[in-house]
Structure 1
């Protein structure tokens, strides 16, 4: 362990004593006396606030531009897992500010899930920045997160600007893949076909009763054109 790391640990412990009312800032005194680099001070204070579950304050430190993103995965995991009521603003703010290259699949899965439940368009565009195999996995996660978690974004899913590859993934996942058992799988495929003007493909489409009148109207219109 380097000297700077040892100093950082001592500084972290001293932060607890700074909370004593009327107590001089022992941590600041120590940091100054030991010539501790400021970036270590900033980072340790951020971790200290995170450990105290003061995530909003912690973000002011851990997202500081002087810091490298070596611990970005751990920070993202903590922020996403501790988000309350599906509010991922802090995790996404950290991610967009630091723009880290994530090293673990867990961190990637969690931050992408946060994106998918917050802004499906942003999640789709982010998935496209990855190699094909990872991109396909993220795309499937996008659908599962949006439809499976009763996300407010589910109404937008069928209207996203998919390319031809994503279009094939979308239909395969919801018709024959793992997503076929999602509650709104068939309805989402139907809406996608309507939104894409693929009316000829829905003549034999089965869907929930709420779409029955719409489907019958489309079928009647198609049959009328064929007569």
Structure 2
């Protein structure tokens, strides 16, 4: 057996070592926060280890020995095995330096170390610290969509949309599933409606339409207030092409967005903002609403028509 694969050599600082109860509790708690799957779980799964949530975190020295044995006896290449051992040594809070010593003794490649540092910090919910490693240009992205999706989760502690955007710009995740696409696009929309709109134009017609409709729904489901007003004004002022204009009307009149409060108001605002009064669909003719400071849409529409004025562009 290689020196690096022997448990007593790996844990020479304490051959009877076992995880502290606080460490076990923290790992289990963080797993729940991360939709019941740690990045450690994914790595162990790649090695073919079954029932990862039962074997990690190990609670006793015997459990730890069994886990290490499963790792070193797996059929994956040496560096993948060493990566998992390095991760486990990072868990050893009362054995600082053990992970670094292990990496030096087995000449662990730096790109693997950076990646493990990154996902270890992800599993510890230290996302800013994780990005410092995972955004390293020399890394070959591993689990890029999973990392990006985790960074978009609004319920994670100290959630910061800028971290997800920074990771996307650095690692260029493929956004291979609809779940990841929608999660990242909503992150972009929170950052700015206009920026999200131009992002849609990078994609084919199918995805472009899907993103555009999501953007409309995102704005309409924003809670009433200054933020919603600002987003709505950005939305109605977007430089839409012919297809996008058609999608805009269809979504607000007959699509899923039509069920949100303010859907027809938004379409009316678009018509006024662009000066295309003739584009008002028949469905809008019934739009009135309560008066605000003595004015409603009926008043405004008739005023514009009777005066022949054209709203400002």
Whether TM exceeds 0.5 here: the answer is: yes
> SS state of the match for residue 204, structure 1?
helix
Identify the residue that residue 69 of structure 2 maps to in structure 1. Answer: none
Q: CA 1:207–1:80 in 2, change beyond 3 Å: closer, same or farther?
A: farther
Q: Distance in 1 between matches of 2:179 and 2:129?
A: 24
Would you say 1:103 and 2:181 are equivalent positions? no
Q: Which moved more, 1:65-74 or 1:39-48?
A: 65-74
For 2:187 and 2:220, how far apart are their aligned partners in 1? 14
Q: What residue in structure 1 maps to residue 47 of structure 2?
A: none
Q: Does 1:28 align with 2:100?
A: yes
User: Mean Cα displacement is larger for which, 36-45 or 142-151?
Assistant: 142-151
Structure 2 residue aligned with 1:209 = 290
The normalised TM-score by structure 2 is: 0.66
The 5-angstrom pairing of residues 1-227 of structure 1 reads 1-17=76-92, 19-20=93-94, 23-81=95-153, 82-83=155-156, 87-150=160-223, 152=228, 153-202=231-280, 204=285, 206-210=287-291, 212-213=295-296, 215-225=298-308
Moved more, 38-47 or 200-209: 200-209
Structure 1 residue ranges without an equivalent (≥5) = none
TM-score, normalised on structure 1? Answer: 0.89
Please state how far the C-alpha of 1:97 moved relative to its aligned partner.
2.3
Distance 1:39 1:181 in 2: 50
Conservation of the 8 A alpha-carbon contact between 2:220 and 2:257: no
- Identify if the C-alpha distance between structure 1 residues 125 and 181 changes in structure 2 by more than 3 Å, giving closer, same or farther: same
Does the Cα contact within 8 Å between 1:12 and 1:44 map onto a contact in 2?
Answer: yes
Q: Name the CA distance, whole Å, in 2 between partners of 1:92 and 1:164.
A: 29
SS of aligned partner of 1:122: helix
1:7 deviates by 0.3
Instruction: Indicate conservation of the 8 Å contact 2:148/2:173, yes or no.
Output: no
Name the SS for the 1:75 alignment partner. helix
Aligned length: 223
With over 3 angstroms needed to count, the CA separation of the structure-2 counterparts of 1:29 and 1:224, relative to structure 1, is closer
Assess, with a 3 A threshold, how the Cα gap between structure 1 residues 45 and 87 changes in structure 2: closer, same or farther.
Answer: closer
- Report the 3-state secondary structure (helix = DSSP H, G, I; strand = E; otherwise coil) of the residue aligned with 1:70: coil
Q: Distance in 1 between matches of 2:213 and 2:159?
A: 20
Change in Cα spacing, 1:225 to 1:195, as seen in structure 2 (3 Å) is: closer
Q: 3-state DSSP class of the match of 1:162?
A: coil
